[in-house]
Chain A
């Protein structure tokens, strides 16, 4: 019996828009163990949010369609559950925090009530009991003067405070998996650090698993034990955090690491110049015969444009979608 909590297998999601069918997620597979924390990184638009929303089956439909795949959570395939069973998992076993704290809370309902709702629906608590427990949780996420604030509305709180409310709301039922979709992207840098350390603390106390979506590799280094790198709807590399930072395989991962701003380089405290990856992501409505990264890849050779590479095992626990695995001599050292 494995400790695996969540296994996404060959997930594909499309959006049927007037401009054509966009394959936002294309054959994504990865897993998450109980209590583990996995980060998903990749540029904006690569399918991170769509992947995470698929787990809770919250893809807007239409236009979104989950074309194929399995999402096994504990011992059930979430994609085959009837809507009522799926609803009971949401907010109780799997919770989610979103990127935009400004728009993710309902503007016309008091925050106390919004945090209390999952307790009422999943645990059958009365309003008074649920509000009392919600107050405890708001206190744990360090909302000051909680008792007075239960009746406050979201517009009366700052962005950081709202994200704390979102976290409390996600935590009240003690989920086994928390999905956080860029929880700090919309916040000030100082607030970001506070929110991240709050999440680390809650995770350690509760033992829940964490799926953290971000485009910030620094956040991943701090929070996750494994990393999934996505590019244009596909997983291009997956590795333990240490391996990814020390021995990245995929040229795209190399590019991401190099585009990370780093403090205290050889220049003595100066920020190293940010290197961007040249070129743009192909439109996901196009179907390319070869590797999706080919046009931007410094090591590209003829095979890359003809066949799509599979995910090759690089070493124990590390996979990469790149032909360099079989043709290491093609890797150019000057790039």
Chain B
């Protein structure tokens, strides 16, 4: 277990190093001068030069990269050009929106996909299965933002149960904040549930045809035990992988949904930072996203080992 952890940590460090080089190079060659954007088109060449020197933009590639890494290693990230505060604080505050929303979305996705996937598998090719499959197909074809808007129209405009967007902040209004995340999380969750339902169904179908399921029936277990104890645990193994990928992706922020619901999340932060050429923000967020995906994969590994005794953490 200890060896497994060290191995994971080394991989994480290596990966972050590679990601940092890549991100930095891409941003370095990106057209658009941050100083020009900050000062506007009428800025004098002198003031531009001063600002560039202030921001360290006049240094060589290696010099700028070194600055960045030095900041990261000492634990104090560079300040954002636009927000004038350390990027780490910025990310943390946005994460309090994106994190709960991602978890809530996955909760919806799992709560929808497992029952429907199992139901469809147990009723293969019967009307119930065909109906479920139809809706998953619809879900796969539906753009997230459109579904999000639809939910606003129904629940906010028509029924008035939710506000149409915005986020009060956890400290200001905890329940209000939770409410503000429900609709966007639901929109994200339903779309992801489409894939998960199909996956659960096909995985369950395969497992229900296995010899050990026949054995379970042959000993007289109830159909419930056969399906939910003997089959489900085996069927979940491939589903877990995709759930992990989805969670990692959601933690990286959902740009479009955050825009539809005016949520101050990571997605919107990185989106506007790119527009403003706020390079410190963009770099750190990309690095953070890579770390988040690695972390989720690690959790998925642990979950695997928990569900499947054949897997040893090495």
A64 to B210, CA, bound (A): 16
> A104 contacts which chain B residues (CB < 8 A)?
211-212, 214-215
Given contacts A108-B307, A109-B230, contact A118 B220 (CB under 8 A): yes
Query: Are B308's CB and A108's CB within 8 A?
Result: yes
How far apart are the CA atoms of A60 and B210 in the complex, in Å? 11
Contact code string A132-173 (vs B, CB < 8 Å = 1, else 0): 000000000000000000000101000000000010011000
Contacts of B229 in A (CB 8 A): 109
Check if B222 is an interface residue, CB within 8 A of chain A.
yes
Residue of B with least CB distance to A155: B310
Residue count of chain B within 8 Å CB distance of chain A: 23
Min CB distance A52 to B, Å, is 10
In the complex, the answer to whether A117 meets B221 with C-beta atoms within 8 Å is: yes
**In the complex, A153 Cα to B230 Cα: how many Å?**
14
Check B172 for interface membership: any CB of A closer than 8 A: no
Give the interface SS of chain A, mostly helix, strand, loop or mixed: loop
State how many angstroms separate the Cβ of A180 from the closest Cβ of chain B. 12
In the complex, A105 has a CB within 8 A of chain B: yes
> Considering the chains assembled together, what is the distance between the CA atoms of A26 and B159 in angstroms?
63
Determine if A95 and B309 form an interchain contact, defined as CB atoms under 8 angstroms apart. no
- Tell me which of A85-93, A192-200, A207-215 binds B: A85-93
Interface residues of B in 248-263 (CB under 8 A from A): none
Identify which of residues 172-226 in chain B touch chain A, using a CB-to-CB cut-off of 8 Å.
Answer: 209-212, 214-222, 225
Which A residues touch B230, using CB under 8 A? Answer: 106, 109
Cβ 8 A contact of A90, one of B217, B225, B308? B217
The residue of chain A having its C-beta at the shortest distance from the C-beta of B215 within the complex is: A104
Q: Are A118 and B309 in contact, CB atoms less than 8 angstroms apart?
A: no
Which of A62, A91, A98, A110 touches B220 (beta carbons < 8 Å)?
A91
CB-based contact B309/A91 at 8 Å: no
B210 contacts A155, C-beta separation under 8 Å:
no
Report whether A89 and B216 are in contact in the complex, using a CB–CB cutoff of 8 Å: no
Q: In the complex, what residues of B have CB within 8 A of residue A169's CB?
A: 215, 219
Q: Check: B71 CB closer than 8 A to any chain A CB.
A: no
B231 shortest CB reach to chain A, Å: 9
Pick from B214, B221, B309: contact of A121, CB below 8 A: B221
Residues of B within 8 A of A58 (CB): 214, 217-218
Task: Report which A residues bind B (CB closer than 8 A).
Answer: 56, 58, 60, 62, 87-92, 95-96, 98, 100, 103-110, 117-118, 121-122, 153, 155, 166, 169-170
Going nearest first, the 6 A-B pairs with the smallest beta carbon separation are A91-B219, A91-B220, A90-B220, A103-B211, A153-B309, A106-B212
| 6 A–B pairs (Cβ distance < 8 Å), ordered by A | A91-B221, A104-B211, A105-B212, A117-B219, A118-B220, A121-B221
